[in-house]
């Protein structure tokens, strides 16, 4: 059994030191509940709503967030999965990192950019990797990536047990049904978990940033597609103890298998 924490952060655009402090506060909260892995939101060091690329580059100057998270992970002997912005030359990337016990195991660059992200970030060209950790096989993708079934199916085929998804879901970008309290973005994540029979831990935002509010939908979703832990309103964490081995069972019925029943020759 593994204790997993999803962290919902209140971040401020441009205030990198304050944002990092907020992530450390949430990581410590998770540690107090004995979480072995904690997932933070997308762009947790920088905030999201930037006017242009140069404003983001200026905000990120001379702050090494990876060193800070590595030190915290080493101190707590845990796994941290977090979204962050990184400058490389004249380009800026939307990335996520998997850190265990102070060591970077993987860095992934978001391949599907949403809306105005296309004006600021350069997309990645490589799919997420499935990483063997001390608790099991995990992978990370970022926000809009989760809406592409091919990408989720890829990590499922490669044996992922827990998919960690740092996200920033803007409230005004998605229509809500008056008869359904859950936002469609969460329902899509639930579907991705169920159709691939995997655990999904996703961490969203809260608060307001330049007149943008967030769905506050941070959730831990089981391989049947149901959220078993959610943060709810405001900043905080949700922690649950889960059995990652469940994701190895791809049975949908005594005669059906989520992966083996596929007929890829028909899908081209």
Regions in the chain scoring below 50 on pLDDT: none
Please state, in angstroms and rounded to a whole number, the distance separating the CA atoms of residues 6 and 220.
7
| pLDDT at residue 173 in the model | 60
Nearest alpha-carbon partner for 232 in 214, 218, 213:
218
| pLDDT at residue 176 in the model | 67
CATH value at residue 226:
3.60.110.10
Domain count, the chain: 1
Q: What are phi and psi of 138, to 5 degrees?
A: -125, 160
Nearest alpha-carbon partner for 214 in 91, 93, 43:
43
Question: Which pTM was predicted?
Answer: 0.95
User: Which structural domain range is residue 94 located in?
Assistant: 2-266
| pLDDT at residue 175 in the model | 65
| pLDDT at residue 5 in the model | 98
| pLDDT at residue 103 in the model | 97
Report whether 92 contacts 57 (CB < 8 A): yes
Residue 92 burial (C-beta neighbours within 10 Å; 0-12, 13-18, 19+):
buried
| pLDDT at residue 227 in the model | 97
| pLDDT at residue 174 in the model | 63
Please state, in angstroms and rounded to a whole number, the distance separating the CA atoms of residues 130 and 154.
10
Nearest alpha-carbon partner for 246 in 196, 183, 189, 179:
196
| pLDDT at residue 171 in the model | 86
Q: Read off the pLDDT of residues 191-201 as tens digits, 9 standing for 90 and up.
A: 999 999 999 99
């Amino acid at each position: 059994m593994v204790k997993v924490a999803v962290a919902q952060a209140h971040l401020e655009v441009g205030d990198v030191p304050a944002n990092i402090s907020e992530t450390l506060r949430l990581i410590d909260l998770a540690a107090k509940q004995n979480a072995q892995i904690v997932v933070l939101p997308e762009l947790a060091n920088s905030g999201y709503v930037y006017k242009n690329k140069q404003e983001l580059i200026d905000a990120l100057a001379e702050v090494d967030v990876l060193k800070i998270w590595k030190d915290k992970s080493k101190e707590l002997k845990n796994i941290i999965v977090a979204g962050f912005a990184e400058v490389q030359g004249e380009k800026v990337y939307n990335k996520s990192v998997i850190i265990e016990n102070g060591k970077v195991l993987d860095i992934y660059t978001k391949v599907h950019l949403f809306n105005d992200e296309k004006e600021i970030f350069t997309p990645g060209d490589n799919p997420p990797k499935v990483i063997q950790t001390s608790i099991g096989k995990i992978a990370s993708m970022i926000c809009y990536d989760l809406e592409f079934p091919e990408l989720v199916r890829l990590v499922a085929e490669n044996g992922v047990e827990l998919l960690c998804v740092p996200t920033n879901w803007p409230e005004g970008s998605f229509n809500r049904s008056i008869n359904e309290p859950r936002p469609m973005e969460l329902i899509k994540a639930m579907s991705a978990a169920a159709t691939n029979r995997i655990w999904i831990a996703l961490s969203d935002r809260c608060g307001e940033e330049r007149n943008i509010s967030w769905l506050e939908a941070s959730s831990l979703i089981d391989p049947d597609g149901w959220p078993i832990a959610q943060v709810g309103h405001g900043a905080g964490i949700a922690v649950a103890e889960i059995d990652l081995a469940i994701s190895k069972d791809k049975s949908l019925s005594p005669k059906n298998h989520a992966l083996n029943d596929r007929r890829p020759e028909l899908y081209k």
